[in-house]
Amino acid sequence: MATEAEGARSARLFFALWLPAGVARSLHSVADGVVGRCGGRLLNQDSFHLTLAFLGDVPAPRQPELLELASGFELPSVAIRLDKLDYWKHNQILWAGCREPEPVLLALAATLQEKLLAVDFLTETRPLLPHVSLVRKLLHPDVLPDLDPFEWSADELVLARSCRSGRGAEYEAMARWPLA
């Protein structure tokens, strides 16, 4: 078990694809319309991302190892198409996702998870359900609007750190690598 001192130096980390600013702005505006009608807490558009692998708390001594490992990943860029809005009742989140996730996107997440699992950075692997959280604490959604598809090529992998604060989780990019 980690001591308190070790726990204090750990960081809550995840690999993700960040949305291009223009896509984030447009999605934010769609989500703002839902919040205007139904309530909920609209997330900051700068934080919009699609998680590929969640590592949880990584102790400080293992963080340089993780950065070095990820530098050697050489993963491919992927086409992303967000074309639906959906809602999870269990955690009251409104999210944008894919009607039919691109196999290359699912393969990217699976490859990343396998690489991390092989060196004990992951405790579990799960099939990815690609989603971008937009609104939290949405209690009473009405009919969700159709989403005009947003498409782009994700060409950067981000290792992000999640910091819990009174305002909810905030994310900070710890490192970025190009996807070829």
Residues engaged in binding ligand ATP (CB under 6 A): 12, 14, 51, 54, 162, 164, 168-169
Q: How far is the CB of 160 from ligand ATP (least distance, A)?
A: 7
Q: How far is the CB of 55 from ligand ATP (least distance, A)?
A: 9
Task: Decide if 179 contacts 122 (C-beta within 8 A).
Answer: no
Task: Decide if 42 contacts 35 (C-beta within 8 A).
Answer: yes
Q: How far is the CB of 168 from ligand ATP (least distance, A)?
A: 5
Nearer to ligand ATP, 75 or 158 (CB): 158
Nearer to ligand ATP, 146 or 169 (CB): 169
Smallest Cα–Cα separation from 129: which of 158, 100, 152?
100
Task: Decide if 80 contacts 160 (C-beta within 8 A).
Answer: no
Q: How far is the CB of 104 from ligand ATP (least distance, A)?
A: 20
Instruction: Give just the sign of the alpha carbon dihedral 31, 33, 36, 37.
Output: negative
Nearer to ligand ATP, 9 or 126 (CB): 126
Can you tell me the distance from the alpha carbon of 10 to that of 3, in angstroms, rounded to the nearest whole number? 11
Q: List phi, psi (to 5°) of 45.
A: -65, -25
Residue nearest ligand ATP, Cβ-based: 162
Nearer to ligand ATP, 140 or 164 (CB): 164
